[in-house]
Structure 1
Amino acid sequence: MPETALTKSLGPVSLTALGIGAVIGSGIFTVIGTAIGGTQSTTSKLSEAPILDIVVGALHHDLAHLGGRPGAGPALALSMILVAIVCCFTGLCYAELASMIPIAGSAYTYTYATLGELIAWIIGWDLILEYAFSNMSVSVGFAAHVVDLLDWLGIHLSPKWLSPAYLPLGLQDLAGNDIYKQGWHFGFNIPAFLIVILLTMVLVRGIRESARTNNIMVLIKLVAILAFVIVGLHWIHPTNYTPFSPNGWSGVLAGGSIIFFTYIGFDSVSTASEECRDAQKTVPTGIIATLIICTILYVAVALVLTGIVPWKSVIGDAAPVVNALKRLTIQTGSPTLHWTRLVVLLGAIIGMISSILVFQLGQARVWFAMSRDRLLPDVFSKVHPKFRTPAFATWVAGILVAIPAGLFDVGTLAELSNIGTLFAFVLVSIGVLVLRKRQPERHRGFRVPWGPVFPVLSVIFCVLLMAGLPARTWERFFIWLVIGLVVYVFYSRKRSEFYKG
């Protein structure tokens, strides 16, 4: 309808700028360490090994050597290229599905309108997992960078209240001395907890991010990345690249499964397809250009980071970029490195605050939408009488993110966020195939090129990345889905407006 149509004002340059703003986030400053270093196990538990390694090991009758998620090492650069290709296929699928629905909204909203209530419930339940655990990961990374900022200022506090209660690899100082052993310890990550609570209070009162504010934040993050790359180039030691791929393709795939976290948000490019001029050309151009530019930046960060410090030194580090600069500063005494570290710290912290804010807002809105559709209790769609925000949903989402952020490490949280996101992408890609079959005549503002080829490739590559995650992550994700289906069958389905009794 003309009165509800959006203005077609976005060209390829505007759409690419939008995409870069969405993709360049805080993930590159946090999860890159666990992607490069992996989570090596001292117990050889199969539950800590990637699913694909377990399958291959079983076929070769060789499971004894498995244990832990292998790190990609310097070959993380290849992992990032692989992930960019996957995102390209999936982004095009998102664009087609979003262009079929005349309203703006998340995957939950337009899946509900096209694929039915059950699939919409699964994606909504999955989005709750994705948003929650991605913000937990970013919060832990934020805390690590706050500790680094305090250290830069010469302020040193007890690590007991600055690190997660559960440390799968223990905690060491820069000299390699143990501060805490592997496992649980008496402590709590207070900065990670507080930032979520503070931003939850802001969101309850209501916030509007202007385009100018968002652009400034994106610019600051880009400056931080470029400063690290440009300065770090002068301190690369080629010997750190040997071996380039210490764990082979298993490490590359496992690294891609984790570093996928840094690309979360690219799907916002596809949801703007209705506002694009000549969507058939503009959307793929915008998606591909966004991914090429961001991948070049990400690959540069990975190569510089693994070139200036040995790749094993970043294992389990929630702030690997700034800590690498700190090591170099201590070794060389360079004032340039000292000030570059401050620039990167400020850029990372500002980027993380904006990411937490946006994803907490998004998570509460998913709860709000599901409640409005009567799939969750009505209280989640209650609007604050003064601030006109979904206050209850916002507070519940905040508390459920803040407490685990104080308890767990960045690697564990990123794994669960990634498997939830990849699963949602699989469902979206399958949805494109299903609707091509069921509703071929339905208007599509954008169509994925090459018929079913790209959606099928999207499904295959997403499942492949999921196979690079540890078995324990699959187990936890399966438990989450089972809980969701139980809630749907015994509660949500009976409250639905479509329930016939």
Structure 2
Amino acid sequence: MRTKSIEATLRDAERPTTRLARSLGPLQLTMMGIGVTIGGGIFVLTGTAAANYAGPAIAISFALGALASGLVALCYMEFASTVPVAGSAYTFAYVSLGELAAWLIGWDLILDMTMGAGAVASGWSQYVVDFLATFGLHLPSAIAGPDAVVNVPAVLVILVLTAVLAAGVRTTARINTVMTLVKLAAIVLFLCVGVFHIDPANWTPFIPDSRPPGGDGDVWQQPLLGWAGISTNATFGLAGILTGGAIVFGAFSGFDIMASNAEEAKRPQRTLPIALMATVVACAVLYVGVSLVITGMRPYTQLDTAAPVTGALAAVGSDWAVRIVGLGAICGLTTVVMIMLLGQSRVFLAMSRDRLLPEWFSHVHPVTRSPRRITWTLGLAVAFMTAVLPIQDLAELGNIGMLTSFVVVCVGVMYLRRTRPDLPRGFRTPWVPFVPVVALLLCLLLVGSLPLITWVRFLVWMAVGLVIYALWGRRNSRVATGELTAESSDAEPVSSGRL
């Protein structure tokens, strides 16, 4: 099994031509985590998951997602504080499970962040349409919104944010902080207004009765567990809560993306654990609260699946709040798209450093210290996918990719505890192997609750990745060419003092 040693991984992070600047403190990193976590889940996926899968019980789906994400975050804390370099789960897999697993997870993360950014950008477009409509400006449905032939606003915001990312992480962090504060203020306003328009009748039944997936027994919309005979329904009921949890779990992807920016954190052994856990706790409280208010304001069958927050406010006649909250939602979703694109580029950078992808991409601009070649390549790819794929397909594909990477991180923590027990760790996951095993089982339950069609698309994507690895990565990686040796039992201890 080809592995890359942790020592070599840390040395690679200091190479002058590919080194990133350590410029993010605890507050900046936490704001980035909240910036990417609070957004798509509240402003977009709440409506989609409630209307199509869980009904008012979407609050339970969010709570389940928070539990799973909190346990997985504990595993991420150990890895990110021990190997604080770009790449997140890809890097963690390379130093623990080997090159093939790392490639598959890296390829998987590209899918996760590409589709996730596209899904949120599509929701951003609908909020822009609703916001402009409050001033009497109506964009044609053919070019804006969930039913657009080509979603022009979504494509434009991706291109603009790609340019911002190319300017460097300091600029990105400043813009993110301002927009995140505006977003949090908008959420508080929504809760204050919405709580006075709650009709408890909208919560009855809180868990709607199960019904055939897709409304007509479509086998492709049935969850994988149902196809295997473990469950029979994908929509509503207990299975609907699980499917909803699998979909909204993407809302908690902030800590994964924060880990991909570990190389840019100051004192990562302290900064990363604080920022990761603060993000999960704060976001879980807001998600459950907002989901309860939204489903209390409107029957779940009548929710706007692309813009549920402003749609609920408009339905109760709070037009003034629609404008304010709509502006906050636009800012909030902007930060989500921006940070997901940022995390995506860091994973791609780590893969190109190892030459599993062409090394040309790993060049970092000498002034901005940003990987501009990667940033623009991926930005254009995301813009194209957003233009041609619907929001629900984007969300489901993104979540299956993320859940798969979480499984690998949980396994990797247990593996390294056994193979490198004396490795200096800035943070140690408590109660190993209990915490990783429970997190692993929850992730498998959620990923198994996604529709069969999503699994088919995911497997096709991974098959394409295997072909690319066979034709390029397997022969050209730095481990394969002998530039890096496999990790051995007599490897020098890792020193974290300089970090």
Normalised by the length of structure 1, the TM-score is 0.79
CA contact (8 A) 2:113 2:343 kept: yes
**Equivalent residue in structure 2 for 1:457, among 424, 431, 438:** 438
**Equivalent residue in structure 2 for 1:84, among 66, 86, 92:** 66
- 1:318 maps onto 2:306 in alignment: yes
Counterparts in 2 of 1:18-417, with a 5 A limit?
19-38=33-52, 71-101=53-83, 103=85, 105-164=87-146, 187-206=149-168, 208-209=170-171, 213-246=175-208, 247-267=236-256, 275=268, 283=273, 290-314=279-303, 317-329=305-317, 337-383=318-364, 389-417=370-398
Question: Displacement of 1:484 after TM fit?
Answer: 0.9
Cα distance change, pair 110–349 in 1 and its aligned pair in 2 (3 A): same
C-alpha distance in 2, partners of 1:459/1:134?
Answer: 22
Question: Displacement of 1:273 after TM fit?
Answer: 10
C-alpha distance in 1, partners of 2:286/2:202?
Answer: 20
Letter in 1 for 2:83: I
C-alpha distance in 1, partners of 2:320/2:62?
Answer: 28
C-alpha distance in 1, partners of 2:434/2:131?
Answer: 48
Letter in 1 for 2:306: A
1:57 aligned partner: none
What stretches of structure 2 of length at least 5 have no aligned partner?
A: 1-6, 15-20, 209-235, 483-499
C-alpha distance in 1, partners of 2:152/2:463?
Answer: 32
C-alpha distance in 2, partners of 1:17/1:207?
Answer: 13
- 1:431 maps onto 2:412 in alignment: yes
C-alpha distance in 1, partners of 2:81/2:333?
Answer: 30
CA contact (8 A) 1:19 1:290 kept: yes
C-alpha distance in 2, partners of 1:264/1:379?
Answer: 28
Where 1:448 maps in the other structure, the secondary structure is coil
- Bigger drift between 110-119 and 407-416 goes to 110-119
- 1:492 maps onto 2:496 in alignment: no
CA contact (8 A) 1:145 1:349 kept: yes
Question: Displacement of 1:23 after TM fit?
Answer: 2.8
* CA distances 1:10-31 after superposition (whole Å, capped 9, x unpaired): 88x9987775455323431011
* CA distances 1:191-242 after superposition (whole Å, capped 9, x unpaired): 1111112222333454633755433322211111111111011111111111
CA contact (8 A) 1:20 1:294 kept: yes
1:42 aligned partner: none
Cα distance change, pair 104–343 in 1 and its aligned pair in 2 (3 A): same
Cα distance change, pair 355–20 in 1 and its aligned pair in 2 (3 A): closer
Letter in 1 for 2:313: L
CA contact (8 A) 1:93 1:428 kept: yes
C-alpha distance in 2, partners of 1:290/1:441?
Answer: 29
Cα distance change, pair 402–299 in 1 and its aligned pair in 2 (3 A): same
CA contact (8 A) 1:79 1:252 kept: yes
2:495 aligned partner: none
C-alpha distance in 1, partners of 2:240/2:204?
Answer: 15
- Bigger drift between 399-408 and 456-465 goes to 399-408
Where 2:344 maps in the other structure, the secondary structure is helix
Letter in 2 for 1:311: Y
1:51 aligned partner: none
Letter in 2 for 1:37: A
Letter in 1 for 2:315: R
CA contact (8 A) 1:142 1:349 kept: yes
C-alpha distance in 2, partners of 1:500/1:373?
Answer: 11
Cα distance change, pair 328–136 in 1 and its aligned pair in 2 (3 A): same
C-alpha distance in 2, partners of 1:94/1:206?
Answer: 25
Where 2:170 maps in the other structure, the secondary structure is coil
* CA distances 1:288-337 after superposition (whole Å, capped 9, x unpaired): 5543332221111111111111101126x2111111211221xxxxxxx1
Question: Displacement of 1:113 after TM fit?
Answer: 3.2
Cα distance change, pair 21–361 in 1 and its aligned pair in 2 (3 A): closer
CA contact (8 A) 1:90 1:458 kept: yes
C-alpha distance in 2, partners of 1:459/1:429?
Answer: 6
CA contact (8 A) 1:31 1:410 kept: no
C-alpha distance in 2, partners of 1:211/1:403?
Answer: 26
Letter in 2 for 1:107: A
The sequence identity of aligned pairs, in percent, is 44
**Number of aligned residue pairs:** 434
CA contact (8 A) 1:165 1:407 kept: no
* CA distances 1:256-286 after superposition (whole Å, capped 9, x unpaired): 1111121111246675796455x9xx94x76
Question: Displacement of 1:252 after TM fit?
Answer: 0.8
CA contact (8 A) 2:41 2:287 kept: no
Letter in 2 for 1:437: R
Question: Displacement of 1:385 after TM fit?
Answer: 8.0
Cα distance change, pair 367–103 in 1 and its aligned pair in 2 (3 A): closer
What stretches of structure 1 of length at least 5 have no aligned partner?
A: 39-70, 167-186, 330-336
CA contact (8 A) 2:35 2:339 kept: no
1:56 aligned partner: none
Question: Displacement of 1:124 after TM fit?
Answer: 1.1
2:231 aligned partner: none
Cα distance change, pair 82–410 in 1 and its aligned pair in 2 (3 A): same
C-alpha distance in 2, partners of 1:165/1:16?
Answer: 35
Letter in 2 for 1:84: A
1:448 aligned partner: 429
CA contact (8 A) 1:164 1:405 kept: no
- Bigger drift between 420-429 and 89-98 goes to 89-98
Cα distance change, pair 402–19 in 1 and its aligned pair in 2 (3 A): closer
CA contact (8 A) 1:229 1:304 kept: yes
Letter in 2 for 1:220: V
Question: Displacement of 1:486 after TM fit?
Answer: 1.6
Cα distance change, pair 273–457 in 1 and its aligned pair in 2 (3 A): farther
Cα distance change, pair 140–211 in 1 and its aligned pair in 2 (3 A): closer
C-alpha distance in 2, partners of 1:327/1:420?
Answer: 35
